[in-house]
Amino acid sequence: MRILFDARVLMNPEPSGVGQYSSVLLQELTRRLPQQWLVYQNRWSSQFGHLPELPTATAIARTHYPNKLLNLMGAWGFNPKLRQPVDLILSPHLNAIRQNNVPRLITIHDLTFVKFPHLLSRQNRLWHNWMATAAKQADHLITLSHATKDDMIKCWRINPSRISVIYPGLMPIAPIDAALTQQVLNRFKLRARAYFFFVGDIAPRKNIPNLLAAWTKVVHQSPYRDFKLVLSGKMGYRESTFHQQVSDLHLTNHLVLTGYLDDTMKTALFGEALALAYPSLYEGFGLPILEAFQLGVPVLTAAIAAMPEIAGGAALYVNPYEIDDIAQGLTTLIDHSVLRSTLVQAGKQRLRHFNWEQAATTYQELFQRFS
């Protein structure tokens, strides 16, 4: 059996969580499963996205269509011409190419564009809804949490038998030596265990406005004035509103914006944080939660969507709509070292639920079902 892996999501040189997940998924499946693999890339220019290290037998197929046009035409049934026939198409993202009479397995990471459309730009909403219309026609849908599966059943009225939940394994985290870690801390003028860390798009859907409002309640109290909130990620929707809020709340000196960080710098900062501050309004999984568990960092997150499913009893939960509750959670983590240690130990135990061997076994069963 030859399986096409639609790797177009890997074109971004600064991948999001979905891109990072897709890269590791590709690497793990091609290494663990016996099928023949054809990795599909498309770009109008000659510069294709970065691929992870793959087995030498892995074939690469490349086309040169404008990608937005390819997505548009694909929704209407257009099939890009490939030199090699395939038996199955697997996409780690919402969109997937078509080939005549070839089953497609498409991954849905979350339904933010359905449940919280007002938190996305108009362009983003249109793209996601257009792609979703085509994705719902797939032979089978994959998602990373039971919470998202439930959302798909309720919002899209999809038969549960058409959806498989496959938890990912752990993302690779390279060890960082102490000297490099200190260099990164010095660069951002930070002290170990004296800051909260957030990683992701700096956008309303991540509940950044409420996190900032909670942080101003914390950091303007005398016991906590030396603490910082570190936001790591690219600026997203409503950037000007974000900067205006920072100014209005007098947070400029209590906030560190790192921009997008490479894996080494992100790991160095993440690993020295007092805790992960992740009170998101909605997540289909929440990879930063697992990263925090791997790095021995306590987790504060929201008691909604997929977060409780993924974090289990290893997080301090808050109501993401209640600013005072978020603020109370932040101060609780500062004040109670025993709680932080308890959460770290619980996080290490929680990691047992996520492994690539089990994920690969489930994928193999799906491949056999649709072969």
Q: Where are the domains of the chain?
A: 2-169+355-369, 178-353
Q: What is the pTM of this model?
A: 0.94
Helix H segments across the chain?
17-32, 67-75, 112-115, 122-135, 146-156, 178-187, 208-219, 239-248, 263-271, 287-295, 307-311, 323-335, 337-350, 356-369
Q: Check if 2-169+355-369 and 178-353 are the same fold.
A: yes
Model pLDDT, residue 189: 96
Confidence of residue 238 (pLDDT cuts 50, 70, 90): confident
Burial class, 124, CB count within 10 angstroms (exposed 0-12 / middle 13-18 / buried 19+): middle
> Is the separation of the CB atoms in 131 and 95 below 8 Å?
yes
pLDDT for residue 49 is more than 70: no
DSSP class of residue 75?
Answer: H
Tens of pLDDT, residues 270-296: 999 999 999 999 999 999 999 999 999
Give me the percent of the chain exceeding a pLDDT of 70.
98
Q: Hey, what CATH class is 178-353 in? A: alpha beta
Tens of pLDDT, residues 77-86: 678 888 889 9
Model pLDDT, residue 13: 80
Mean pLDDT score across all residues of the chain:
93
**Among 2.120.10.90, 3.40.50.2000, 3.60.120.10, 3.90.1150.10, what is the CATH number of 2-169+355-369?**
3.40.50.2000
Range 336-344 contact pairs with CB under 8 angstroms and sequence separation of 24 or more: 339/298, 340/274, 340/275, 340/298, 343/298, 343/299, 343/314, 343/315, 343/316, 344/296, 344/297, 344/298
* pLDDT (average), residues 213-219: 97
